[in-house]
Structure 1
Amino acid sequence: MDIVRRNNVTVTGNPRGRVVVLAHGFGCDQNMWRLTVPALERDHRVVLFDYVGSGRSDLAAFSETRYASLDGYARDVVEVCEALDLRDAVFVGHSVSAMIGVLAADMAPERFGSLVMIAPSPRYIDDEGYRGGFSAQDIDELLDSLESNYLGWSATMAPVIMGNADRPELGEELTNSFCATDPDMARVFAKTTFLSDTRDELKTVSVPTLVLDCTQDAIAPREVGAFVHQAVPGSTLVTLDATGHCPHLSAPEATNQAITQFLAGVR
């Protein structure tokens, strides 16, 4: 129960259905899945949670040392699964959580039966033969801006991340989510996220995997989705007719359809 409280775990849906774990990205919380849950809860047991430092998690449990690497967040996921005694779960991770799911599945393979990666990126910084979408200088400037003025950074970056400039309410929602996150904890998560490199871990994935990318995404361009697809053995790539980095909010119908069709095929 301590883990359940720590990560503000919520369980809904069909108690007899296969378990689907929904994991939010940086600066968000489980509320970001509110348009996805209704598409899943009739046939699946749906587990939602907040990473420590996000949403209504127990902020007292935050450790800068633990969360200085994605392994710390992956351990959160594994501990939630252990607390609920989940096995063969479907892990749906948005953005950096897609990579956290890869690490968690490697730590505790008995807990996970398949992965869904929404707008994943194993490395945000460009490298030789690899386009992540940002130069090292871009990321340094992003982190410096976040460090010096987190609220200002949130107001500027959230609409860019969300995209869909013609629907400003989406950018405002993400801004509010960022601003509701403790700035010191957000800085740690941001640095951990944007400096991560989990490309080598992708080849260890041995479960059915769906990769979802978007036609336009300022954070994870389509080259990244293609890289993840090629690196994960036997994965399926679906490009959503959606813009922005959060298709579960900006294009929920298309996102939900892709997820449910995948789930129907891996039962």
Structure 2
Amino acid sequence: MDIQRRNNVTVHGAGTSTLVFSHGFGCDQTMWHYLFQHFTNRFRVVLYDLVGAGRSDLAAYESEKYGSLAGYARDLNDVIDEFASGPVIVVGHSVSAMIAALADRLSPNRIAAHVMVGPSPCYIDSDGYVGGFKLEDIHSLLHTLDSNYLGWSSAMAPTIMGSPGQPALGDELTNSFCRTDPQIAKQFARVTFLSDNREDIAGLATPTLILQSSDDLIAPVGVGHYMHATLPNSVFHLVDNVGHCPHMSAPGACAKAMDAFLQPWVGADVD
């Protein structure tokens, strides 16, 4: 299997620890360009596309394998094994934060730390848990996406991005959504928005930085507090930002928080 081709893996920078950046739904690795270059003078940086996104190999997509987040987690571990060196810190946006947590569970001790950007273990409200959406809201969203993916993307991407003072970012996210294969995107949306990973993250002891926007339609602040309470070695950092993509709309604030969290792994010994 050619993992580089499958996931369009690119490697940048140099360092004794590796940062692996994993993008969210409707995105690809180019969404990290506002942030990742800040770290290339101290870390080996690995970027990749989830299968079905960006310039990944669409022929590698299997609906059964990617019918759950576990398929993406196995891919992430493949990328780590092939391209990472030294301690590995996974920077996961949105659903990729859960993909990274699952990858950690599958290969304990391989991931040294997590940076979770706008994470949510479950988007649906239930007794004692507020995910931000009612089940009927999610079904309505998925129905609209099924019937008119491009229209849904054009309407929703700017809302997801937020950042009202930076309209070009909404256009960038819209274009990314529209580049994604619609059939793959529809299945990935169902997998993403109907997943419940609360048990998977419960007690996960890997050091974790949670970066949460102060105003996020997809992952409300309460979800960030839930994550912080659930992950025993976590740091919660609230970014003053409107929208679900602070790594794009507030990259300076994200980089500053990450610098402080990542200090133990700067110049760390190679395994």
Work out whether 1:242 is the aligned partner of 2:241: yes
- Distance in 2 (alpha carbons) for counterparts of 1:184 and 1:49: 20
CA RMSD after TM alignment: 1.2
Match of 1:206?
205
Cα deviations across residues 123-182 of structure 1 (Å, max 9, x unaligned)? 001111111010001100000000000000001110110012232111111000000000
- Distance in 2 (alpha carbons) for counterparts of 1:253 and 1:34: 12
Query: Counterparts in 2 of 1:1-267, with a 5 A limit?
Result: 2-14=2-14, 16-84=15-83, 86-267=85-266
Q: Work out the number of aligned pairs and report it.
A: 266
Q: Is the 8 A contact 2:46 2:83 kept in 1?
A: no
Q: How far did 1:204 drift? A: 3.9
More displaced, 166-175 or 244-253? 166-175
Q: How far did 1:40 drift? A: 0.5
Q: Is the 8 A contact 1:154 1:179 kept in 2?
A: yes
Cα deviations across residues 42-61 of structure 1 (Å, max 9, x unaligned)? 00000000000000000000
Q: How far did 1:109 drift? A: 1.9
The one-letter code sitting in structure 1 at the alignment partner of 2:62 is S
Cα deviations across residues 50-86 of structure 1 (Å, max 9, x unaligned)? 0000000000000111111010110110111122264
- Distance in 1 (alpha carbons) for counterparts of 2:87 and 2:265: 11
Q: How far did 1:238 drift? A: 0.4
- Distance in 2 (alpha carbons) for counterparts of 1:220 and 1:257: 21
Structure 2 length-normalised TM: 0.95
The one-letter code sitting in structure 2 at the alignment partner of 1:248 is H
Q: Structure 2: any 5+ residue segments left out of the alignment?
A: 267-271
Q: Is the 8 A contact 2:204 2:232 kept in 1?
A: yes
Report the identity percentage. Answer: 51
Q: Is the 8 A contact 1:208 1:266 kept in 2?
A: no
Q: Is the 8 A contact 1:87 1:112 kept in 2?
A: no
Cα deviations across residues 90-129 of structure 1 (Å, max 9, x unaligned)? 0110000001110001111232100110000000011111
Q: How far did 1:87 drift? A: 4.9
The one-letter code sitting in structure 2 at the alignment partner of 1:263 is L
The one-letter code sitting in structure 2 at the alignment partner of 1:36 is L
Cα deviations across residues 193-231 of structure 1 (Å, max 9, x unaligned)? 000000111124121111110110000000000000000
- Distance in 2 (alpha carbons) for counterparts of 1:121 and 1:87: 28
SS in 2 for 1:57: coil
92 and 251 in structure 1: CA distance in 2 versus 1, 3 angstrom threshold: same
Structure 1 runs (4+) greater than 3 angstroms displaced: none
The one-letter code sitting in structure 2 at the alignment partner of 1:32 is M
The one-letter code sitting in structure 2 at the alignment partner of 1:67 is Y
- Distance in 2 (alpha carbons) for counterparts of 1:87 and 1:122: 28
